Chains A and B, each alone.
Chain A
Amino acid sequence: MGVQFKLNGRMVESASSPASRLLDVVRNEFGLTGAKCGCKEGECGACSVLLDGLLVNSCMVAIGTLPGHEVTTIEGFRETARFQAIDEAFAKANAVQCGFCTPGMVLAAESLLNQNPHPTEAEIRDGISGNLCRCTGYNAIIEGIKRAAKEGEGLW
C-alpha cells in the first residue's frame, strides 16, 4: 500500500517510497510538470507547491509526511478565481519572462495574499524572497502582486 494524500482536490496514492521527494512524485508519477526543478536544495522556489495552503519547496518534502494533508500544484490552482486574478495582474505587469520561476511565483503570491490580502511592498518582497527570479529584477512581479491584491479585492 502506497502513501495516500490529497492532490489538487482528490485523494491519490503514490507508488513511490515514503522518502521520495514530493517534486519528483508530482512530476514523474502524476505528470504535473508545472513545478520545476531549479536546485533540489530548497533555495530557488521553482518547485513551490501549496501544502495545506502554505508555500513549500516540494523538493524538500518527503511524501511520507503527507497523509492527512493536501497538496496543491499550479495545475490545481489554475482552476481557481484567485489564479485568474493573479494571471491577469501578472500579464498587465509584464511579470513573466523566461517563465521557469513563474508557476512557483504565482503560488508564492497566492500564499502571501492568503495570509495578508493587502501587503505592503516590503511585505511582498519578504513574501516572495524564497522564490528566485533571474530575469525580471522583481519589479514587475511585485507590481503584479500589488495589482492582483487590488483588482482581486475580496478574493483573499
Chain B
Amino acid sequence: MEAFEAIKRPMKRRDHDGKVSGRTRYTDDIQSPDFLCGKILRSAIAHGRIVEISAPELPDGYLIVDHRDVKGDNEVHIVLDDTPVFAEDTVEFVGDPILMVVGPDEREVDRILKEIRVRYEELPAELDPLTATTHFFEYKIEKGDIEKAFREADRVLEETFTTGHQEHVHLETNAMIGEWADGKVTVRGSLQCPYYVFRAVRKALGCRDSDLNVIQEPTGGAFGGKEDYPSILGCQVAVAAVKAKRPVKAVFSRQEDIAYTPKRHPSVCRYALAIKDNRVTAMDIDVTYDAGAYTTLSAVVLQRGSIGADGVYNIPNLRVQSRAAKTNSVPNGAFRGFGGPQTFFAVEMMMEHAAKALGEEPLDFKLRHAAKQGDETSTQGLYHFHVPTPEIAARLEELSHYREKREAYAHQPKGRYRRGIGFSLVFHGCAFTGNGERDLIKSVARIRGNADGTVDVFTANTEMGQGLETTFPKLVAARLGIPVERVRLAQPDTDLVPDSGPTVASRSMMIVGLILRRAADKLKMQWKPGETVTVEEHYQHPDYMIPFSLDDFKGDAYPDYSWSGNVVEVEVDALTGEARTLGCWGVYDIGVPIDEAVCHGQMQGGMLQGLGYASMEQIGYNERGVIRNDHLSDYIIPTSADAPPLVSDFVLNPAEFGPMGAKGAGELPHVGVAPAYVLAMEQAVGRPLYKAPCTTEDALNALEGGEA
C-alpha cells in the first residue's frame, strides 16, 4: 500500500486561488455591452394545445425566438430526441419552453414577457406515475427460479417504499451564452458535458461540425443538474444568437432553476421477499420512476436503479420489473447516484424489516446476505474483485460504536428526546452501464509534451467542484515523474479537446484517468528534451467483462463497483417531531483516493446532500402540476447549523481497472445516507417507516401512531 501514499497525499487545489479571491469568472460574470438578455416564456399549464400566441409590438432591438427559428431539427438530442427546443403545438408540463424574448435591457424583456398572451386548449394532465398509462421505458431483470422460491418459502414479506424529488441546488443556476460571428456559433456556459451540448446544438442548428464550438466556463456546482439540461438551454441560446446575430446570455433565476430543470426521479418500489430457513431466497421487485414529461435521461437512470434493486446482497432468485412513467411534470434527470439512491433506499429498508421480522440483528442479517467476490450480480455478471463489505462494517463500528448505541437506544425510556441509529450498505457501479463506454462513449484523450518541458492535457472533462482540475494533472505528473506545476489541463473547448466523454457516472478518474495514464506512460517513453510530442489514446474495454446485453439484462453491468457503508445517529423531539442529526459516518472503497483531501471533500459533500434528501428536501405540486416550493426559502437544504460533523474514511482496495488503483467516487456518498437516516428515525420513533424524506411532519405522524 506504500506505493499509493504519494498519490493520496493532498495538494493545493489548482482552482483555489481564483475561487477564493472572487477572480474566477463564472458565466454570469462574463459581461459585455454587446450581450443581449434572453428569457424564456413557459407553459402555464401542465398539458394542452397552444391555440394562439399574441405578443405586443416589439421595440427596436428586441425579438422573439421560437420553434420556427430552429433551422435544424426542433428536437434536443439527449438519448431519445423527444424534447423540443421550443414547444410547437402542445405543451407537456408547467414550464415547457415556448419561446425566448431577447433584447438589450432585462427589464424591458420582462415587460414584453408579461404582455405576451398564450391561449391554450387544456388537455387532461397526468400527475401520478402509478396511474400513468404511458411508460417511456420498461425493463425486466430475471435470474434463478422465482416462482419456485416463493412456492417453497417459509415466509413471504411484502412492503412498498417511496422516495421524493430532489433538487440539485447547485449554487450557480443554469447559465449559457450563445455567440454568433461570421457564421460560426460558440456556446459557452455552466455545463458538465461539452460534447453532449455540441451534438445537441449541431442538430438544432443543422450546421457542420466546423461551424460550432462549445466551451465550458467555470461551473458553480452541478451534481447531474448540468448533465442534460445545458443541451436544452444551449440549443435555445444558439438559435437565439443566430437569429439576433448578437451574443445572447441566459441566466436562470433560482425559481426557474428549481421549477423547470431536472430533479431526482421520485420512486415507488414494491418488494416481496421469499424467506426460507432464515435466508432471503428470492426478491420480486416492482419499480416505478416518475420520468416527468420527456424521456431525457430516464432510460439510463432506470437501468441503474433496476440493476441495484437487490442491493449489495447475493439473492439467487430475482425478478425486477421496472418502468419510467410519463407524467405532465418537469422532466427528471441525472442527480448524483443516478437512480441508485431510490432502490438502495428501498432494499436497505426491506432487509432491515426482514431481519426484524425474523428476530435477527439487522446488521448481522445484512452481512450474512452480502455478496462476495466471485458471486453473481443481479444481471448474472460477476463481482470480479474483492468486495470489502466486512471491512467497511468493521471500520464503521470502530468509528460510530453502532452496535452499542443500537442496543442502548432499543431500551431507552419513552421521554421527550429519543435517539436512534441506522446502518446501510450500498455500492455504486462505476462508469456507464453495460457496454456504454465501448459502444456509445468511445473516449479519446490527448497529452502533449512540449519543448519547454511542460505538458498539456486535453480532455472534455469538466471541473465543477469535484477537483478534476487538480487530480488529472496530478495523475499525469505522477506517471511522467515530473512536478505537477509543469502539467496544465486545457479548458474544455470542443475546438481544442477530443471527446473524452461526459463528466458523469463517476467515470472521469476511472475511465478517462486510465486513458491518460496510458497516454502519459507512452509519452514518457517517446518524449525527449526539447521536443514536442503528442500522444492520443482511446478507451479499451476490459477483457474480463462478461458482455452485457440490454435486451435481457444479462452480463457485467459495470467494469467495477465502489462500495460503502453509512451510519446515521439522530435525536427526535417527540413533542414536535423535529430531528437533530447527531452523527453521520461513511466508510468508502473508491479503490485508491487520488488526492485524499479532494476525495474526503467529495464524500462529505455527498453525505450532506444525502442527509438533505433523507430528512428535509421535498417538492410539492398542486393539482394543476405547479410546483409550490420553488424558492430557497421553501425548498430547504441543510445549512452548517443543520449538519453534524461528518466523518468519512476509506478502506484501500486498489482497483485493477482504473489508474493507480482508482475507482468511481463522486456519486457513491449519496447512495447510502437516506436508508441509514430513515432507519435511525425508525428506531427513534419506534415505528416502521417506508419513505424518504422522513420530515418533521412524517416523524410527528409516526409518533402519534399514524401511517408514516
Which residues of A does B touch, CB under 8 Å? 27-28, 31-41, 43-44, 46, 73-75, 78, 83, 86-87, 90-91, 94, 96-103, 106, 121, 124-126, 128-142
Contact = CB atoms under 8 A, between A and B. Distances in A.
Nearest to B175: A37
B19 interface: yes
Interface stretch (B151-159, B498-506, B639-647): B639-647
Nearest to B168: A134
Question: Which of B25, B170, B632, B640 has the largest count of A CB atoms less than 10 A from its CB?
Answer: B640
A40 B20 CA distance: 21
Given A33-B22, A96-B16, A99-B218, A41 B254 contact: yes
Interface string B11-47: 0110111111111111011010000000000000000
B16 A134 contact: no
Nearest to B606: A137
Interface stretch (B266-274, B448-456, B559-567, B594-602): B594-602
A144 to B, nearest CB: 10
A101 B643 contact: no
B637 interface: yes
B254 A137 contact: no
B20 A129 contact: no
A60 B220 CA distance: 22
B465 A97 contact: yes
A46 B601 CA distance: 20
A91 B13 contact: yes
B605 interface: yes
Given A87-B17, A97-B467, A136-B605, 7 more contacts: A28-B31, A33-B26, A33-B31, A96-B13, A125-B640, A125-B641, A132-B169
Given A129-B639, A137-B607, A78 B22 contact: yes
A41 B173 CA distance: 14
Contacts of A124: 640
Contacts of A140: 600-601, 604
B601 A97 contact: yes
B214 interface: no
12 contacts: A33-B25, A33-B31, A34-B23, A41-B632, A78-B22, A90-B20, A98-B221, A102-B19, A135-B171, A136-B604, A138-B640, A139-B645
- Closest 10 pairs between A and B when the two form their complex, measured CB to CB: A34-B22, A99-B19, A98-B465, A100-B220, A137-B604, A43-B632, A74-B22, A97-B465, A33-B29, A137-B608
B172 A98 contact: yes
B604 A139 contact: yes
A19 to B, nearest CB: 12
Contact of A134 (B21, B169, B598): B169
B170 A37 contact: no
Contact of B22 (A75, A94, A125, A128): A75
Contacts of A94: 10, 13, 597-598, 600-601
Contacts of B608: 136-138
A74 B646 CA distance: 29
A73 B23 CA distance: 12
A73 B604 CA distance: 29
B134 interface: no
A86 B17 CA distance: 12
Interface of B: 10, 12-13, 15-26, 28-29, 31, 168-173, 218-223, 253-254, 464-467, 597-598, 600-601, 604-609, 631-633, 637, 639-641, 643, 645-646
A131 B632 CA distance: 12
A106 B20 contact: yes
Given A34-B21, A91-B16, A139-B646, A129 B640 contact: yes
Given A134-B223, A139-B645, A100 B172 contact: yes
A73 B13 CA distance: 23
Contact of B171 (A44, A130, A137, A142): A44
A125 B172 CA distance: 22
Nearest to B171: A100
A141 B168 CA distance: 20
Contacts of A132: 169, 171, 632, 637, 639
A22 to B, nearest CB: 15
A33 to B, nearest CB: 4
B22 A137 contact: no
B637 A40 contact: no
A45 to B, nearest CB: 9
Nearest to A24: B106
B254 A40 contact: yes
Question: Which of B171, B605, B606 has the largest count of A CB atoms less than 10 A from its CB?
Answer: B171
Contacts of A75: 22
A100 B26 contact: yes
B22 A96 contact: no
A40 B253 contact: yes
Nearest to B634: A43
Contact of A142 (B18, B221, B640): B640
Contacts of A136: 601, 604-605, 608
Contacts of A138: 608, 640, 643, 646
Given A41-B633, A132-B637, A97 B605 contact: yes
Nearest to A34: B22
A64 B601 CA distance: 41
A43 to B, nearest CB: 4
A43 B465 contact: no
A28 B251 CA distance: 14
A88 to B, nearest CB: 9
Nearest to B463: A98
A97 B16 contact: no
A129 to B, nearest CB: 4
Given A33-B29, A36-B26, A96 B639 contact: no
Contact of B466 (A32, A33, A90, A97): A97
Contacts of B23: 34
Contacts of B22: 32-35, 73-75, 78, 102-103
B605 A44 contact: no
Nearest to A93: B597
A96 B19 contact: yes
B153 to A, nearest CB: 42
A135 B631 contact: no
Given A44-B632, A91-B16, A132-B632, A99 B598 contact: no
Nearest to B595: A94
A135 B221 CA distance: 7
Contacts of B172: 36, 38, 98, 100
A106 to B, nearest CB: 6
Contact of A74 (B12, B21, B171, B253): B21
Contacts of B254: 38-41, 44
A102 B20 contact: yes
A46 B172 CA distance: 9
B19 A134 contact: no
Contacts of B609: 134
A96 B607 contact: no
Contacts of A125: 640-641, 643
Contacts of B600: 94, 139-140
A100 B221 contact: yes
A140 B601 CA distance: 7
A97 B173 CA distance: 16
A107 to B, nearest CB: 10
A134 B224 CA distance: 13
A73 B21 CA distance: 10
Question: Which of B253, B467, B608 has the largest count of A CB atoms less than 10 A from its CB?
Answer: B608
B643 A38 contact: no
A46 B21 CA distance: 13
A134 B221 contact: yes
A135 B637 contact: no
B610 to A, nearest CB: 10
A5 B226 CA distance: 39
Contacts of A87: 17, 20-21
